[in-house]
């Protein structure tokens, strides 16, 4: 019996030992498996991080490449500077100067500049970037757009390096631009900036008799006296406007005539010397705002408030009345006087019939109006 019990005990001990070994092996395997899984997870995370870093590096390199392409200004300037000229004129009271650029108009090389640069001149010269100067004469002018076309007949063909003109309709606020001209006579100066606003209006009383110059580009590119008439260019080196004016004592507030106006007018200016395509309403008025709306007991705080109409003019004939609020033209919202003038300049012509969207006595009213043409500018 004793031996039997000893045998059973030994068997139990062996079984316990074997079970312990099995459990220990399983536990050890479990630990190793967890470590392996942990290592695999860490390797996977590390691979993901490496991939992410590699992706970021690729994007970073692409960004640098784009930035360099957009700002290769030195090379672009070298290609463009020969196309920009210095214009000098003699007047009864002294001398004037400004800038201009060469343009190929249907095979004829002309200089495009501002009207106010050549206004009242009795003698005119154009000097190219290489210093060669020639006598010039004015082909045509339009004070209502501050545009002029000048010819230089004595210069040899190799002097003319024409620029391309792009559509200003593609411009957006924030687009980078550059201006090249002769500020204060410093020939070949370049400045850069952005398009800071579109659809502005300016007034040059001396030349326009109180009419506005509409659809103007506002830019932060520094412009100074002498820049007038020079090109405003996009970063493809194409003309999108002509620098024309600044607000005195301002910083970075310059104005340019849009290139669409050049393209629309240059044929008439070169062929006939004038342009008569500016639409005319025959009204005067002011911008609407909150306080005018309160005074008028209306909830319309935008638009253009009609103050008066010219007797026998287009608006008078269409029965437009004082205190009508112009809020749209052909269904296009008109926020203020700038928007009205810019719409008329860009999209209409004398003789066309348009629909005025008005508010009269707090009620909407649509009137048909046939546009006239502005009277000739003051001599």
Domain assignment present for 32: no
Domain assignment present for 41: no
Residues 72 and 163: their CA atoms lie apart, in Å, by 18
Specify the pLDDT at position 125: 97
> How many independent structural domains does the chain possess?
3
86: domain CATH number is 2.40.10.10
> Does 267 lie in the same domain as 226?
yes
> Does 260 lie in the same domain as 177?
yes
pLDDT > 90: percent of the chain: 74
The residue from 133, 159, 185 where one domain ends is 159
Domain assignment present for 263: yes
> Does 268 lie in the same domain as 207?
yes
Q: Tell me the β-bridge partners of 201.
A: none
Residue 25 pLDDT > 80 = no
285: domain CATH number is 2.30.42.10
> Does 193 lie in the same domain as 130?
no
SS3 101: strand
> Does 350 lie in the same domain as 259?
no
pLDDT digits (tens, 9 = 90+) for 33-73: 555 556 556 656 655 554 454 444 333 344 333 334 555 88
Specify the pLDDT at position 4: 44
Specify the pLDDT at position 34: 58
Domain assignment present for 250: yes
> Does 307 lie in the same domain as 259?
no
The residue from 256, 272, 288 where one domain ends is 272
Q: pTM (2 decimals)?
A: 0.78
Residue 333: domain span: 279-373
Residues 199 and 217: their CA atoms lie apart, in Å, by 6
> Does 250 lie in the same domain as 216?
yes
Q: Which of 72-76, 84-88, 334-338 has the lowest mean pLDDT?
A: 72-76
Specify the pLDDT at position 40: 59
Helices assigned H by DSSP within 89-240? 115-118, 205-208
SS3 328: strand
Domain assignment present for 154: yes
Residues 270 and 274: their CA atoms lie apart, in Å, by 8
Specify the pLDDT at position 19: 52
Specify the pLDDT at position 105: 95
> Does 227 lie in the same domain as 142?
no
pLDDT band with cut points at 50, 70 and 90 for residue 5: very low
The residue from 238, 272, 306 where one domain ends is 272
Specify the pLDDT at position 39: 52
Specify the pLDDT at position 371: 98
> Does 358 lie in the same domain as 285?
yes
Domain assignment present for 186: yes
pLDDT digits (tens, 9 = 90+) for 194-217: 999 999 999 888 899 889 999 999
Specify the pLDDT at position 251: 85
Residue 26 pLDDT > 60 = no
> Does 284 lie in the same domain as 268?
no
> Does 214 lie in the same domain as 137?
no
Question: Contact 164/262 with Cβ under 8 angstroms?
Answer: no
Catalytic residues: 116, 146, 228
Find all residues with CB under 8 Å of 326, minimum gap 6, and list them: 285, 303, 304, 305, 306, 334, 340, 356, 357, 358
Domain assignment present for 75: no
Domain assignment present for 13: no
> Does 267 lie in the same domain as 189?
yes
pLDDT > 70: percent of the chain: 81
């Amino acid at each position: 019996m004793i031996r039997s019990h000893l045998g059973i005990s030994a068997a139990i001990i062996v079984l316990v030992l074997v079970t312990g070994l099995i459990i220990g092996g399983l536990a050890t395997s479990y630990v190793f498996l967890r470590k392996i899984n942990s290592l695999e997870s860490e390797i996977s995370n590390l691979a993901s991080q490496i991939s992410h870093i590699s992706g970021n590096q690729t994007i970073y390199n692409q960004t640098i490449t784009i930035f360099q392409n957009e700002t290769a200004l030195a090379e672009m300037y070298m290609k463009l500077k020969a196309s920009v000229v210095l214009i000098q004129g003699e007047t009864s009271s002294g001398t004037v100067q400004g800038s201009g650029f060469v343009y190929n108009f249907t095979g004829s090389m002309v200089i495009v500049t501002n009207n106010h640069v050549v206004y009242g001149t009795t003698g005119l010269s154009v000097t190219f970037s290489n210093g060669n100067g020639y006598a010039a004469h004015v082909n045509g002018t339009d004070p209502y757009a501050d545009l002029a076309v000048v010819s230089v007949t004595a210069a040899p063909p190799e002097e003319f390096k024409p620029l391309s003109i792009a559509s200003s309709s593609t411009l957006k606020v924030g687009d980078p631009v550059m201006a090249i001209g002769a500020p204060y006579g410093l020939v070949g100066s370049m400045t850069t900036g952005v398009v800071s606003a579109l659809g502005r209006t300016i007034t040059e009383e001396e030349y326009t008799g109180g009419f506005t110059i509409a659809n103007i580009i506002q830019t932060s590119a520094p412009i100074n006296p002498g820049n007038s008439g020079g090109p405003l260019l996009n970063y493809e080196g194409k003309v999108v406007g002509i620098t024309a004016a600044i607000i005195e004592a301002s910083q970075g507030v310059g104005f340019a005539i849009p290139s669409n106006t050049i393209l629309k007018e240059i044929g008439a200016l070169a062929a006939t010397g004038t342009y008569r395509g500016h639409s005319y309403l025959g009204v005067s008025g002011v911008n609407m705002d909150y306080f005018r709306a309160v005074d008028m007991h209306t909830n319309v705080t935008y638009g253009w408030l009609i103050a008066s109409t010219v007797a026998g003019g287009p608006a008078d004939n269409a029965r437009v009345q004082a205190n009508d609020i112009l809020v749209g033209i052909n269904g296009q919202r008109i926020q203020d006087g700038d928007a009205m003038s810019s719409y008329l300049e860009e999209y209409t012509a004398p003789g066309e019939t348009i629909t005025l969207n008005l508010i009269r006595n707090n009620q909407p009213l649509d009137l048909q109006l046939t546009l006239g043409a502005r009277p000739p500018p003051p001599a």
